[in-house]
Amino acid sequence: MPGGDMLLAMAKLSALCDLLDAFAPPCLAEDWDNTGLLMGDRSMEVGRVMTCLTLTPDSAAEAVDERADLVVTHHPLPFRPLAKITTDTVEGGMLWRLARAGVAVYSPHTAFDSAASGINAALANALKLRSAAPLNPTEDEPAVGAGRIGLLPTAATLEEVAARIREFTAAESVRVVGPVGKSIASAAVACGSGGSFIASAATAGADVLITGEATFHNCLAAQAAGLALVLPGHYASERFAVERLAEWLAKEAAGLAVWPSIRERDPLRTL
């Protein structure tokens, strides 16, 4: 594990929060979201940081076992207000064990999705989209916002676009909606569960929307709108980004031990 028993540099948690806030500004988060520092003492010293997509019993145990001082988790924990924090529930048990071990928790979530160098920007770059812009721009800053839409360098088939996304995200499999030979010139991206972006993508003239997952009825809505979908899975559409976040944080906070969770796994398997 990075750092081992070697002497590490230390940083104030407040300074790391400021660094992460600058990278993924909280103002970009959706109103319903719970982002930023979720648990911890801003005055504490941090030497070991783990990133993960989601805090699960496995990734939480890894943080405790490997003596992390801070976990940067994409998906917030807690997400909604908790009336009780006890080991009677999985969520409460994880928070209790992390707190007892002195592990702080920070989540950038939808701010990270929408940031200028965030997850959707990375997906757009992977497809080399030209004139990429937010699919749902913010009112104050049209240059940033949720999702991305742009033009492929040259038209490609839906099958080719799916293959590029599968390779970039290291997805085990990719599902599609639409004929595999469909010509794709304009593509929209929305990591995670992006069914709410289908109407925006169709209205903006996208030929395809790349998102992690969509419900059956979302797929029918896309099909009816003539919008193809590429679905690599929620985990694959975002996990690569927390790995990159660990690399970025290690450079920006030199001397700290930073690593992406090695115990985290996609709960879905293809048989």
Containing H/E element for 213? strand 208-213
Contact 224, 177 (CB under 8 A): no
Instruction: Look up residue 41 and give its two tokens.
Output: 């003492």
Same-domain status, 43 and 88: yes
Question: Does a structural domain hold residue 145?
Answer: yes
Residue 75, marked binder? yes
pLDDT for the residue numbered 8: 64
Contact, 35 vs 107, CB < 8 A? yes
2, part of any domain: no
Please check the confidence at residue 202 and state whether its pLDDT lies above 90.
yes
Whether 176 and 72 map to the same domain: the answer is no
Q: Is the pTM of this model over 0.95?
A: no
The CATH number of whichever domain residue 182 belongs to comes to 3.40.1390.30
Considering the domain architecture, whether residues 161 and 219 belong to the same structural domain is answered as yes
Which letter does DSSP use for residue 3 in this model? T
pLDDT in tens, 157-188: 999 999 999 999 999 999 999 999 999 999 99
User: Do residue 146 and residue 47 come from a single domain?
Assistant: no
Is the residue at 269 inside a domain? Answer: no
**Hey, which residues does 36 pair with through a beta bridge?**
107
pLDDT number for residue 9: 77
> Is residue 168 a part of any domain in this protein?
yes
- Is 74 labelled a binding residue? yes
pLDDT for 2: 61
Does 140 have pLDDT greater than 90?
no
Are residues 64 and 133 located together in one domain of the fold?
no
Q: Within this chain, do residues 214 and 149 fall inside the same structural domain, yes or no?
A: yes
The answer to whether 234 is a known ligand-binding residue is yes
For residue 81, the Cα-to-chain-centroid distance in whole angstroms is: 22
In a domain, 96, yes or no: yes
The pLDDT value given to residue 135: 95
Residue 109 annotated as lining a ligand binding site: no
Q: Which residues of 47-74 are buried (b: 16+ CB within 10 A; e: fewer)?
A: bbbbbbbbbbeebbebbbebbbbbbbbb
Q: Do 119 and 229 belong to one domain?
A: yes
* 158 part of a folded domain: yes
pLDDT digits (tens, 9 = 90+) for 16-59: 999 999 999 999 999 999 999 999 999 999 999 999 999 999 99
**Alpha-carbon distance 43 to 68, whole Å?**
16
Q: What is the pLDDT of residues 4-16, one digit of tens each?
A: 545 567 899 999 9
Mean pLDDT rounded to a whole number for the chain: 95
Query: Is 41 assigned a ligand-binding role in the annotation?
Result: no
Higher pLDDT, 102 or 9: 102
135 inside domain: yes
Residue 169's alpha-carbon distances to 125, 239, 240, 266, in angstroms, are 12, 8, 6, 12
- Do residue 210 and residue 248 come from a single domain? no
* Structural domain containing residue 147: 113-236
